[in-house]
């Protein structure tokens, strides 16, 4: 299992989520975030309104398809389009039942 995280422009999130649902991705966590990158510009947040972070847990074989969906929906070719990362998941545990999920 992998966790894909993506920091994208806030106005691109709905398109990404709809695209992921259409692909059969079972869930996605979206959080507001703040930060800066190497191409930071002091007026950039005022121009595009900030970023949100998506976290998606998928099977290993889904990773490339999910990344492709995110890039297609998020890319504007401007500074601040965001980043995507992929992490290995060692364990997933449901809090409600304290039951480990397969990983």
Q: Calculate the average pLDDT of the chain.
A: 89
pTM, full prediction: 0.85
Q: Compute the distance between CA of residue 83 and CA of residue 77 in angstroms, rounded to an integer.
A: 12
Residue pLDDT, tens place only, 50-98: 899 999 999 999 999 999 999 999 999 988 889 999 999 998 898 888 8
**8 Å CB contact between 15 and 28:** no
Q: What is the pLDDT of residue 58?
A: 95
CATH code for the part of the protein at 2-101: 3.30.70.120
Q: Looking at residues 33-58, what average pLDDT do you find?
A: 77
What per-residue confidence (pLDDT) applies to 4? 98
Give, in degrees to the nearest 5, the angle at Cα 99 between 84 and 94. 40
């Amino acid at each position: 299992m992998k966790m894909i995280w993506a920091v994208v422009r806030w106005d691109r999130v709905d398109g990404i989520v709809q695209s992921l649902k259409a692909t059969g991705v079972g869930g996605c966590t979206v959080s507001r975030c703040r930060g800066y990158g190497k191409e930071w510009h002091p007026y950039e947040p005022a121009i595009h309104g900030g970023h949100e972070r998506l976290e998606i847990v998928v099977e290993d074989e889904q990773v490339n398809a999910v990344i492709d969906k995110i890039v297609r929906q998020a890319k504007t070719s401007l500074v601040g389009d965001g980043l995507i990362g992929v992490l290995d998941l060692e364990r997933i545990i449901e809090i409600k039942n304290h039951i480990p999920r397969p990983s």
